[in-house]
Every structure is written in C-alpha cells, then in structure tokens.
A and B are shown apart, each in its own frame.
Chain A
Amino acid sequence: MSNILVVAEHLEGKLRKATLPTIGFAKKAQALTGGKIIGLVLGHNAASVAAELATAGVDHVILVDSAIYADYLAEAYAPAVAEIAKVKGASIVAAPASTTGKDFLPRAAARMDAGMISDAIEVFSHNGAVAYKRPVWAGNLIARETSTSAITAVTVRMTNFDAPAAGAAAPIETISLGFAAPDDTQFLSFDRVKSSRPELTDAAAIVAGGRGLKSAEAFKMLEELADLIGGAVGASRAAVDSGYAPNDWQIGQTGKIVAPGIYFAVAISGAIQHLAGMKGSKVIVTINKDGEAPIYQISDYGLVADAFKAVPELTAALK
C-alpha cells in the first residue's frame, strides 16, 4: 500500500487553512503514487475539525480524540503519527511547514526511520521515483531530492500548492491509540497575538515595515493602510528585534513565508533573509528613502520617499 497521510493542523475547534495546501500537495503526490489521501486529526473534542477536514479533498479521515492532544506537544504527536502511518500503510506523511509541522514531523520521521523533506514546493517523478523540490540558501537555490526510505516525511510550503476543490464528505474513522501522556514535558501557555486581520500566510495583501520606521507607534500607519485594503501587517526581523512588531509578524527565512497578490515593503532594506520570505509575492511595492536599497532590485514599483510622508498620503489616496 502507498497511502498519503496528511496531518491536519487546527486551533480552537477549527481546521487551520495551512492544512489546505498540504492536501493540494497530497493530490499531486497521489497522481504519482496512487493510494488514498488520509487526513489525520489529533485533538480533544475535535469532531468539528474532522468534519471540516472530510470535505477538504481527502479520501478518508482518522480522528484520534484524547485529552493528551488537548494542548499540542511534539512528544505526544510523534508516536501517534508514526503509529497511524504504520497501520494505514502510508508511504508519504505530510504536514504544513508551520512551526507545528516543523516541530513534530522530524520527531515522527526519526521514529519511523523515514527520510525527511522540509518545505516542499513541488513533487514530481524522477526515474520512476517520487522527487521533491525545496528552496535552500535563503531561497537562492532550489534542491531536488528523492527518498529511499519506506516512508518519507514532508513538510509542505503553504504558498506553492492550491487548496483542492471541496468535495463530498469522506468517511470519518475514530481510532484510539492508548498512548500515555508524556511525563517529561508540559505545555504551559500559548500567548496568542490577537488580530482581526487575515493571517499573513493567506492574506491577499501585506503591508510590511522595517527598522526604518523607528517605533511601534509608526506601525499604526501601516495597520491603517492594511485595514483599508483588507490586508495583513508584516515586519522585518530588525523591526521585531527592536520591539516595533510582535514576532508573529516576522517575514523571511526565520519567519513566515508569504506570497500575497501585493506586498508593500516600507522602510525595509531587502536583506536576502527577508527576501526569502516574500520573493514569491505577485506585485512588490517598495517605499524607502534610500533609492539604492537592495529591495528595489526585486520590486515592481519603487517610490523613493520618506515613509512618514508617503504612507499616509497613499492611504488617503486609496480611501
């Protein structure tokens, strides 16, 4: 058997959108490997998540509902994922390349003695084997790799696969695994950045700010522009490090990978580590007072101007 297991990500009883491109990846892989796409929900009182997943393009859903998955812990997820992969005959185990997927999947891979591909952006056939493409070198190089292990673990980049069309509801199977809760680790808290704006990873528009803004206060003008165009707010690492923006806003090699329809880079110089996270944007607009800033080399439209003057002016013009 060569089924594809997709580990769903969810929060507060809802399927996270990050899961959908992973199912899109699974569809492409399935065209090469055959077999079924099995969606896995590990959670507590998570029937609503399983129901949502059932119509998201998978062939089968497995729900493992237990108090030990109430708060996410890699030590609890990894054995469950490995066990389900084994009993369901999976040859590929996929999860979103989110901080959650990146946390538990390598652990599960080691348990399954599986080779692992991080941040897949493409799956294709190479001499009869399944092969993957993934960005390395801060996005300046793309590696092509195959795997020889019986199971391959894959985290999937959210920006490169479409969500499959919603289909008829797949059957939901409830399984209990009987693992004990890990006793050497404890979840303490999740301090969530509350926001009414769309998530960075699926926003159609992003207004991102850099160190040049010099204060958290200055980010308010970006927020105003973002709200006007229904977008999200992002930041460079330097802006986050300086305390102008929460860490969840960081875009780049160490932060989120985004590909919106339009990306405004305001007072961001364009270090390769930042570009690694936003180069896939459809249209890039730069506002920077230094006309020589490297970010102009990848921008579709550049305005050499003081952000404190240009951004309010832009917001007013778009009202």
Chain B
Amino acid sequence: MKILATVKRVFDTDGKPKLTADAKLDVSSIDCKLNPFDEYGVEEAVRLQEKGIATEVVICCVGPEEAQKEMRTALAMGGDRGLLVKVNDTESLDTLSIAKILAAVVKKEKPDLVILGKLSTDSENNQVGQMLAELTGLPQATFAFKLTPDAGGWAIVGREVDGGTSDVKVKLPAIITADLRLNEPRYASLPGIMKAKKKPLEITTPEALGVSVKPAIVGIGYELPPARKAGIKVASVAELVDKLRNEAKVIS
C-alpha cells in the first residue's frame, strides 16, 4: 500500500499576533513550523510502514521553497521521499486551490491512502481533506482517532464526532484526516534527522501538474479579538459564592 501524507508549513501560533497599520498580519517576527495535526498524519503513515502494511510513504507539501524545512522534519520521522509543489505565496491560496493542487498530485502518485491533518492550526479551515476527497471522487473519513486497514481493500476508521464517536468503513483508495488522539507522534531521532537529509525531495509546480488556480476566498484584513481582562482573586469559597450571587448575578 502506498500512502501520501500531506504537511503544511504553518505559522507558530503560540506567539501573540501583531497587525500592521493596514490591518495585515505582521509576519516579520513569527516562526513557522510543521502543522501539529500533520505530525499525527505522518506518524500514522510511518507506523503503517513499520507494520509492513505500507510499502511507500510520500510526504507532500504545497508551499514555498522554505517549506523544505518542515518536509525534512516530517521525513525525519520516517517516510521515503518528499514532493514539494512550489508556490510563492501560499497565504493567498484558498483551501479549494490547495485541494485542486493536491488532487493533481493524487492523480499522478495514485496512493492507496491519503492522510491529511484535520486542521491547519494557523488558518483553521478544516476543509482541505474533505475537498480533496470530492475532487478525487474518493470516500473520506475525517477526524480519525483510530485507523485499521483490513485485508479486503477497505479501512475501518473511528471518528471523533459531536456526541461521541462513530465508526465508518471506507474503500481504498480513501482520504483520511487525522485528529489528535490517533497516535502519539514521535520525536525525530538523530539518525532519523541524518537520514532525512539524504531522502529524495522533488520540487514541482502547479503548472507542471497542469493546474491553474484562482482563489475564490480573498482576505481583506485582520483584527484582534476583544481582550479579556484579568478579574480578581477571591480568598475563600464563601467570598466566591457571594460574588457570583451578588456581583456577577450568575447564580441564584
């Protein structure tokens, strides 16, 4: 079985964002990193390879030249080779554009399983996997916390959904998006990092894949959410109850 695992280079959202005078995001002092949800996807692919179920794991990213760094981070966890679809300004691409590019990659690579993260932690779309499934005509199993490929060419996927969990069975090839309880991603080992440097990393472009994209969603600026102020500390349960009853009036 061949697996394609996608990775996105995201902004590290642990820092507080700053805005420029024209309401754009000030990216000058923000670090980038591998999207945390993609670590779960890559880990799952690598585990399937270690179990002998996957025969090849390809790491794919749509992003700038610099994204090779995040791809190497993923390749240090495992996997065989990388495929970077180079775009200069990933920020201006919307999810449907990314999905169209990834659909061209799926057509070319013909994987049996595509594993994406469920969410980009910076732009928080939760869309690309589902769009890719439609564009490729493949079944989808999103928010996966359990993945069991069985022998008959199907996979059983446990999904985290509102109200509990749900199991679905999808015929391979299929599209899976990873949730955080799918596994515990490994830290890349030193030998892993050394090996990753030598793994092949092919660079292509949307044009070479025969895709031209025109984003439908256009950003018109950012704003900061209203700040919440720290309130007061109370000394006892009795004082807390008094405040809730008589000051906040949220409890009778």
Chain A residues in the interface with B (C-beta under 8 A): 11, 18, 73-75, 78, 98-100, 102-111, 113-119, 126, 131, 133-149, 152, 182-193, 205, 229, 237, 240-241, 246-248, 253-254, 256, 261-262, 272, 279, 282-285, 291, 296-305, 310, 313-314, 317-318
Looking at chain A's contact residues, is the secondary structure mostly helix, strand, loop, or mixed?
mixed
Min distance, Cβ B141 to any Cβ of chain A, angstroms: 8
CB-CB under 8 A from A116, the residues of chain B are 94-96, 125, 127, 131, 217
CB-CB under 8 A from A302, the residues of chain B are 231-234
* B interface residues, how many (CB within 8 angstroms): 80
Q: Verify B222–A141 contact, CB threshold 8 A.
A: yes
Contacts A126-B220, A147-B216 given; indicate if A107 touches B122 (C-beta within 8 A): no
The answer for the CA separation of A98 and B161 in the assembled complex, in Å, is 8
Chain A-chain B contacts (Cβ-Cβ < 8 Å), number: 254
Looking at chain B's contact residues, is the secondary structure mostly helix, strand, loop, or mixed?
mixed
The answer for the CA separation of A188 and B71 in the assembled complex, in Å, is 35
CB-CB under 8 A from B14, the residues of chain A are 272
The answer for the CA separation of A145 and B217 in the assembled complex, in Å, is 7
Q: Of the candidates B134, B139, B221, B243, which one forms a contact with A184 in the assembled complex, judged by CB atoms under 8 Å apart?
A: B139
Question: Among the interface residues B130, B230, B243, which one has the most CB atoms of the partner chain A within 10 A?
Answer: B130
Contacts A136-B122, A142-B223, A143-B222 given; indicate if A247 touches B233 (C-beta within 8 A): no
Residue of A nearest to B160 (CB): A247
CB-CB under 8 A from B145, the residues of chain A are 247
Q: Verify A186–B169 contact, CB threshold 8 A.
A: yes
Min distance, Cβ A235 to any Cβ of chain B, angstroms: 13
The answer for the CA separation of A234 and B20 in the assembled complex, in Å, is 37
Min distance, Cβ A128 to any Cβ of chain B, angstroms: 13
Q: Verify B164–A248 contact, CB threshold 8 A.
A: yes
Q: Verify B240–A188 contact, CB threshold 8 A.
A: no
Residue of B nearest to A153 (CB): B127
